[in-house]
Amino acid sequence: MSNVEFSPSLMTMDLDKFKEQITFLNKQVGSYHIDIMDGHYVPNITLSPWFIEEVRKISSLPMSAHLMVKDPSFWVQQLITLKCEWICMHAEVLDGLAFRLIDQIQDAGLKAGVVLNPETPIEVIFPYIERLDKITIMTVDPGFAGQRFIESTLDKITALRELRVEKDYRYVIEMDGSSNRQSFKRIDQAGPDIYIVGRSGLFGLDESIETSWDMMVQDYQEMTGKCLG
């Protein structure tokens, strides 16, 4: 039996079926993944803190904001005000900001995370790794759905899992990007705690969210040989 968590990336959901899909997923998942893009760090502009307010109207589940932005300071306080449970910032833009922003988030009773791009080594976050609640490994380049899975990124997940045991760190490990039938087995072998699932792994499998969920679970179980539970 597997204890991994699947966290849907709401950027890839069918917004025409917003209430229907969230209502169903509320009974299946433990959290939601909210991509916030500023059009500068990545060229797209997607969800915003406003979207979190809309989800809260029909869900009490924790939400994790993934800040794909050039100026995380601008967004962090907005998310703290909304009491977004997880606030995750790209390590690549945290030089000179990391300790202050992590403290700001955690002092508010929320959880702080960092995200690493495929080419960013885990050593970059070693100065503050012991403070982190979550580390997200991008298994695709950030900013676009439907990209090719970068298998070499899984080595970072394995290394972080081993380091967590060795140093007794508290962070959870999350993977983000092209989590689907073709990659489930390789991801499972690396051993993250949380899988972000989007269009290719969940929302794009069928027009019905119920059928899509069942297909995703079947894909995971067939490819890994593990039952979810």
**In what order do the strands lie in the sheet containing 172-176?**
5-8, 194-197, 172-176, 134-138, 111-116, 86-90, 63-68, 32-37
Q: Is 35 a catalytic residue?
A: yes
Catalytic pick from 35, 38, 133, 188?
A: 35
Name the binding residues for a divalent metal cation.
Answer: 33, 35, 66, 176
- Those residues with Cβ within 8 angstroms of residue 148's Cβ, 6 or more apart along the chain or in another chain: 140, 178
Catalytic pick from 38, 133, 176, 188?
A: 176
Residue from 7, 11, 86, 22 nearest 58 by CA: 22
Name the binding residues.
Answer: 33, 35, 66, 143-146, 176-178
Name the binding residues for substrate.
Answer: 66, 143-146, 176-178
* Token pair listed for 132: 């982190």
| Cβ-contact 11, 145 below 8 angstroms | yes
Residues annotated catalytic, as ranges: 35, 176
